A and B are shown apart, each in its own frame.
Chain A
Amino acid sequence: MGITKNKEYIMSVLVYTESEQGHYKKAALEVASYAKAVADQLGTTVTAVSINVANTSTLGNYGVDKVLNISNTQLEKFSASTYANVIKQAAENESAKVIIVSSSADSKYLAPLLAVELNAGYASNVVAVPSNTSPFTVKRPAFTNKAFENIQINTEVKIIGVSNNAYGLVENSSSASAEDFAPTILESSINVESVDKATDKVTIADAEIVVSGGRGLKGPENWGMIEELAEVLGAATACSKPVSDLGWRPHAEHVGQTGKPVASNLYIAIGISGAIQHLAGINASKVKVVINTDPEAPFFKAADYGVVGDAFQVVPELIEKLKAFKSQQ
């Protein structure tokens, strides 16, 4: 379908641009890029909801026309119910009918609460711009990446959760004029007692590249080369379920069906055979590379590129070659 200017949507597309310690997350810029594409389809503008970010001008590189700038110390700690209520007030302020959020842990936490507050239909993990805006139809994976589902959102207010790395960053110069916005803050009935988070590492959710190790690496003492490869590539590290079950790596690194889902641009599997549950969890990644001694490993059927070889030789050599490659870039 082509571009339609639909009267129903003269109001802005609202996008929640998540931040961390005063800076926008990469996912925030990706959902802003996506919101711009949806706004173009609908013939309208993009308004961002921004919480506790001093300098909002970055959003002007990604197509945001207006920023509802919220600055409030009560919002320093994330609370799903409080944040959902703040976004609801922003949506009502703008009479927004389409609201875009990311697929971060926090956005997936608040979006269902926001859906109830606004009586909005919500589609999560959406991988493309709407194929149609009337009826409003979006595409999302189903059956743990074995298929895609086209779903129609029937409600007046619609929420779209965009899958990580599905749309990418698209630059669009825009005004991003900031306007102070002071919503009523509901006190959260949930208290965050403590946060345990590695701040110096790329998270699996944010990563464009994920380097993942399996039981083929023989023991936790051999993870140095996985971490080094990840560092060279600016990637996050991950592991297969047996590795997490054996306690070689923390549970937070476990990717696969019952672990974290991965939707990276590049997924490198080292010493992972490729059990169906593992593949289900990482299949949304765009390009997959497998390094394994066993040419019969099921992962070779799922991968785009494969190296049949011993990880203990291949990975150190790959690190050296990548360092040389990076230094020429």
Chain B
Amino acid sequence: MKILVCISHVPDTTSKINFTEDHTKFDTNGVQFVINPYDEFGLTRAMWFKEKQGASVDVVNVGGPETEPTLRKALAIGADAAIRVNTVATDAFSVAKQLANVVNNGGYDLVIAGRESIDYNGGMVPGMLAGLTNANFVNSCIGLEIDGTKATAVREIDGGKETISASLPLVIGGQKGLVEESDLRIPNMRGIMMARKKPLTVVEPIEASVETQSVSFEKPEPKGSVTLVSPDNLDELINLLHNEAKVI
């Protein structure tokens, strides 16, 4: 089985988010970048397929050279090879088109991407990629087993879950549940040494039009300080929620 795991290179959750150039560009100054947490669950699940059932695992990112340390980290965790599509990731649709080209050239049976990235939170790349490559698609996937060419997946739905069967090729929008947080792997020294020798192929982008574009960013209004209510005066809390906040 040939597996491709899509890796987004995103600011760490604890990063301060600032913008430059008159609020049109994300300020990467001083920001630590990590593998998108949703993708990490998928990467670990792919490692399990490799170790328990036999599979090759490639990782891919659409981005400039600055994203290579993130791909090397994925190699250190255990992926066999990395591909970087050498273009700045702009909108979801064009990223999905670049990824579709990689998938079509690589003949992958299973593509695992995070349900969304924690930077733009679009939640569209996995579905668009499935649509563009005519593969089956399971979003918000919290469990996945593959037997031959048949997949059984669990999808989180509003208020519960459903079990789905589908044949490969398949694209997964993954999240926690594919593996648990405690299953996630931290690269060890041996992995880091080996990752240096693994192939990281840079491919040039295909031409893809920009369907949506960020024009500007805004920071939320600074929040006022909390209104404290005494535990002995809960009527006041109800009054505030009813008359001031108007939410009950």
Q: Mark A265-288, 1 if CB is under 8 A from B, else 0.
A: 110000000001100100000110
CB-based contact B92/A122 at 8 Å: yes
Question: For residue B11, which residue of chain A has the nearest CB?
Answer: A143
CB-based contact A266/B247 at 8 Å: yes
Given contacts A195-B157, A197-B157, A251-B177, contact A122 B227 (CB under 8 A): no
CB-based contact A146/B128 at 8 Å: no
CB-based contact A153/B137 at 8 Å: no
List residues of chain A with CB within 8 A of the CB of B41: 258
A208 to chain B, nearest CB (A): 8
List residues of chain B with CB within 8 A of the CB of A139: 218
Given contacts A122-B212, A189-B136, A308-B228, contact A252 B166 (CB under 8 A): no
Given contacts A115-B128, A149-B120, A301-B226, contact A277 B220 (CB under 8 A): no
Question: For residue A301, which residue of chain B has the nearest CB?
Answer: B226
Given contacts A194-B163, A198-B160, A252-B156, contact A123 B219 (CB under 8 A): no
CB-based contact A190/B165 at 8 Å: yes
CB-based contact B227/A193 at 8 Å: no
- Among the 9-residue stretches A1-9, A32-40, A100-108, A172-180, the one with 4 or more Cβ atoms under 8 Å from chain B is A100-108
CB-based contact B227/A150 at 8 Å: no
CB-based contact B213/A151 at 8 Å: yes
List residues of chain B with CB within 8 A of the CB of A142: 119-121, 217
- Contact partner of A147 (CB less than 8 A), chosen from B19, B167, B234, is B19
A contact residues, range = 35 or more
- Among the 9-residue stretches B51-59, B197-205, B235-243, the one with 4 or more Cβ atoms under 8 Å from chain A is B235-243
The answer, yes or no, to whether A289 is at the interface (CB within 8 Å) is yes
CB-based contact A143/B17 at 8 Å: yes
List residues of chain B with CB within 8 A of the CB of A304: 223-224, 226-227, 245
List residues of chain A with CB within 8 A of the CB of B108: none
CB-based contact A314/B231 at 8 Å: yes
The docked-state distance in angstroms from the alpha carbon of A80 to that of B93 is 18
The docked-state distance in angstroms from the alpha carbon of A127 to that of B164 is 32
CB-based contact A197/B136 at 8 Å: no
The docked-state distance in angstroms from the alpha carbon of A143 to that of B165 is 33
CB-based contact A305/B121 at 8 Å: no
Q: Mark B83-101, 1 if CB is under 8 A from A, else 0.
A: 0000000011100100000
- Contact partner of A205 (CB less than 8 A), chosen from B37, B130, B158, B165, is B158
Question: Interface SS of chain A: helix, strand, loop or mixed?
Answer: mixed
List residues of chain B with CB within 8 A of the CB of A137: 215
CB-based contact A150/B215 at 8 Å: yes
List residues of chain A with CB within 8 A of the CB of B13: 144, 257, 276-277, 280
Given contacts A258-B37, A287-B245, contact A80 B139 (CB under 8 A): yes
Question: For residue A79, which residue of chain B has the nearest CB?
Answer: B164
Question: For residue A291, which residue of chain B has the nearest CB?
Answer: B231
Given contacts A142-B121, A194-B162, contact A113 B137 (CB under 8 A): yes
A284 to chain B, nearest CB (A): 10
List residues of chain A with CB within 8 A of the CB of B128: 112-113, 115-116
List residues of chain B with CB within 8 A of the CB of A193: 152, 162-165
CB-based contact B158/A150 at 8 Å: no
The answer, yes or no, to whether B189 is at the interface (CB within 8 Å) is no
Interface residue ranges, B against A (CB under 8 Å): 11, 13-14, 17, 19, 26, 37-38, 41, 91-93, 96, 118-128, 130-132, 136-140, 142, 152, 155-167, 175-177, 180-182, 209-220, 223-224, 226-231, 234-235, 237-238, 240-242, 245, 247-248
Closest 10 CB pairs of A and B: A112-B127, A116-B131, A197-B160, A309-B231, A203-B159, A121-B211, A266-B247, A205-B158, A121-B212, A112-B124
- Pairs across A and B, CB under 8 Å, 15 listed: A108-B139, A112-B131, A122-B211, A123-B212, A142-B217, A143-B119, A149-B216, A196-B161, A197-B161, A251-B177, A257-B13, A287-B245, A307-B230, A318-B234, A318-B238
